[in-house]
């Protein structure tokens, strides 16, 4: 699943490539993810011009000169490409946007779980999930005090809280493991068991991990976004059975509810 470092890299790539480009054609080979009537979607997008691309949580927001927003939530398997028309199409390519530069933006989704909307800034709050989200994980408003205050409103296991979009928008399964490893907190600890020092460590780890990973992924995707997601740099997630890079103990891996959790039992007691 694309998470904030991946989506930040994609956002930056598009801001370098498509701002000021006009849309010359819109094709919808598979309409399932598109939550606007096909004819309206094609009519309203064609001839419009891209402005800045922003991100909130796991949503990408493509500003358009008309004032509308093309909003894409790629969910689990949504993938982007920016290519010339002859390039081979991914399996289950759902949307192809032709640009006046001759390039195409493509969106493919193997499980057809993503969602694509065409709305206005005012209409964002009517989109499913959008009004429920907490502050974006990179928002300047998410100070340590705000982070700790929001934590106090949630109970349960700390990993489940981190990945809950109502708490903070943008943290997914992979980076929650990395954040908790960095903070030395066991993923199945109850929030009520965390000390003040641990909550502060969790806040610092959230920012340090996201910033560290975003720089790596952005460099990897500088010239191409044709990746599922970039995970080679991760230190603990999906590293079950390997030595912990901090203490050398074997990394544990537990699968529950179709979600893999990876952690070091020695570093994260």
259 is catalytic: yes
Q: Residues near 146 by Cβ (< 8 Å), separated by ≥ 6?
A: 135
Burial 127-143 (b: 16+ CB within 10 A, else e): beebeebbbbbbeeebe
Q: Are 60 and 10 in contact (CB under 8 A)?
A: yes
Catalytic residue among 38, 166, 259, 265: 259
Determine whether 3 is an active site residue: yes
Q: Is 16 an annotated catalytic residue?
A: no
In DSSP terms, 45 is beta-bridged to none
Catalytic residue among 11, 55, 58, 68, which? 58
Smallest CA-to-CA distance from 15 within 79, 73, 66, 82 is with: 82
| Residue 76 neighbours by CB distance under 10 Å | 12
Cα–Cα distance measured from residue 95 to residue 108, given in angstroms and rounded to the nearest whole number = 7
Please say whether the beta carbons of 116 and 33 come within 8 A.
yes
Q: Which of 3, 178, 182, 229 is catalytic?
A: 3
Catalytic: which of 2, 33, 74, 135? 2
C-alpha triplet 31, 34, 38: angle, nearest 5°: 65
Residues labelled as active-site residues: 2-3, 58, 259
């Amino acid at each position: 699943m694309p998470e904030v470092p991946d989506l930040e890299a994609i956002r930056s790539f598009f801001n370098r490539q498509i701002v000021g480009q006009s849309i010359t054609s819109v094709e919808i080979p598979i309409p399932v993810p598109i939550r606007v009537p096909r004819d309206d979607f094609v009519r309203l997008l064609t001839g419009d011009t891209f402005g800045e691309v922003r991100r909130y949580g796991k949503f990408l927001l493509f500003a358009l000169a008309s004032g509308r927003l093309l909003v894409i939530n790629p969910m689990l398997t949504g993938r982007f490409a920016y290519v010339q028309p002859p390039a081979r199409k991914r399996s289950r390519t759902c949307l192809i946007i032709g640009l006046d530069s001759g390039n195409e933006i493509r969106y493919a989704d193997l499980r057809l779980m993503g969602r694509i909307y065409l709305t206005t800034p005012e209409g964002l709050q009517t989109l499913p999930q959008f009004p429920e989200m907490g502050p974006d994980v990179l928002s300047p408003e998410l100070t340590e005090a705000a982070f700790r205050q929001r934590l106090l409103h949630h109970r349960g296991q700390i990993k489940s809280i981190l990945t809950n979009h109502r708490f903070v928008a943008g943290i997914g399964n992979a980076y929650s493991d990395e954040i908790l490893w960095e903070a030395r907190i066991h993923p199945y600890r109850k929030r009520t068991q965390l000390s003040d020092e641990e909550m502060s460590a969790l806040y610092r780890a959230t920012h340090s991990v996201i910033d560290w990973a975003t720089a790596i992924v952005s460099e990897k995707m500088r010239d191409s976004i044709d990746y599922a997601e970039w995970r080679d740099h991760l230190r603990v997630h999906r590293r079950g059975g390997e030595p912990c890079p901090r203490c050398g103990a074997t990394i544990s891996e537990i699968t529950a509810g179709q979600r893999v959790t990876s952690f070091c039992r020695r570093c994260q007691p």
